Chain A
Amino acid sequence: MASDNRPLSPHLQIYKPQFTSVLSILHRITGVALALGTFLLVYWLMAAAAGPDRFAQAQGLIGSIIGRLLLFGWSFALFYHMLNGIRHLFWDAGKGFELKTAFLTGWLVVAGAVLFTLIAWIAAYSVMGGI
């Protein structure tokens, strides 16, 4: 009974809002990064429209180490932004505001983004027949 009223460590109170605000700023950062990534998407589509040589060139660029690293980061950004965007849409509908729920859905978003990214890349590499 008495222990119920004991003050909690300030750590918890500080940590929870911090976690959710990091997720919030990440939504903005990934949104801007995705917008920059559209340059690559448009380059790729235009290369395909220009013909086989240009397309091969673009595929070579995207398939390079730097290209793959960029694409990997971009795929994570896309999955994170999509899942956290869905979280935002639930908030807009008035659902999931409680700190506990916001904390839990935040972790779900992070775990989901990691999982989706891994699945996409494992699938891509198995389509290509290994590394």
Chain B
Amino acid sequence: MADKGGLRTPLARARGLGPAKDGVAHWWAQRVTAVALVPLVIWFVASIVLLSNCSYERFTAWIGSPLPAVLTILLIVATFRHAQLGLQVVIEDYVHREGTKLAGIVLVKLGAFALGTAAVFSVLKISFGG
């Protein structure tokens, strides 16, 4: 990563190193998912607002059609990847007992994976199975 100095503290720079020494990849994945989330979130919120309190038929017809289904799945994948990476940094900052820290990080990873899978499965089921 480019080091431009300024407000960034040595801690913030070193933080990327993390316990698994995969800091640069972690840092990049957090930024790439953040960039991807901007248009996806704006699109999703606008769509949901327009579908406020709509019927089951209208909602499933919408999310089951190809473009909304693909964009929603992209949103789900980016969201859970981004949230998992972010929560890991938060845990690394506040939890200092090694065992607890590792347990927290693993729990967040498994949780994000499980929730993401459930969400993607739901979209696919509506798309293919009705």
Q: Are B119 and A41 in contact (CB under 8 A)?
A: yes
* Residues from chain B with Cβ under 8 Å of A45 in the complex: 63, 118-119, 122-123
Closest to B117 in A: A42
Q: How many chain B residues have a CB neighbour from A under 8 Å?
A: 37
Q: Are A75 and B45 in contact (CB under 8 A)?
A: yes
Q: How far is the CA of A59 from the CA of B8 in the complex (A)?
A: 44
* Residues from chain A with Cβ under 8 Å of B38 in the complex: 82, 85-86
Say whether A38 faces chain B, with CB atoms less than 8 Å apart: yes
Task: How many A-B residue pairs have C-beta atoms within 8 angstroms? Tell me.
Answer: 88
* Residues from chain B with Cβ under 8 Å of A107 in the complex: none
Q: Are B90 and A28 in contact (CB under 8 A)?
A: yes
Q: Are A42 and B41 in contact (CB under 8 A)?
A: no
Nearest CB on A from B111, distance (A):
9
Nearest CB on B from A79, distance (A):
8
Say whether B107 faces chain A, with CB atoms less than 8 Å apart: no
Further pairs besides A45-B63, A55-B56, A123-B49: 13, Cβ < 8 Å: A35-B83, A38-B80, A38-B83, A45-B119, A48-B56, A49-B121, A78-B45, A82-B41, A102-B7, A120-B45, A124-B52, A127-B49, A127-B51
B residues sitting closer than 8 Å to A (CB atoms) are 1-2, 4, 6-8, 31, 34-35, 37-38, 41-42, 45, 49-53, 56, 59-60, 63, 79-80, 83, 86-87, 90, 115, 118-119, 121-123, 125-126
A residues sitting closer than 8 Å to B (CB atoms) are 28, 31-32, 34-35, 38-39, 41-42, 45-46, 48-49, 51-52, 55-56, 59, 63, 75, 78, 82, 85-86, 88-89, 91-92, 94, 97, 102, 120, 123-125, 127-128
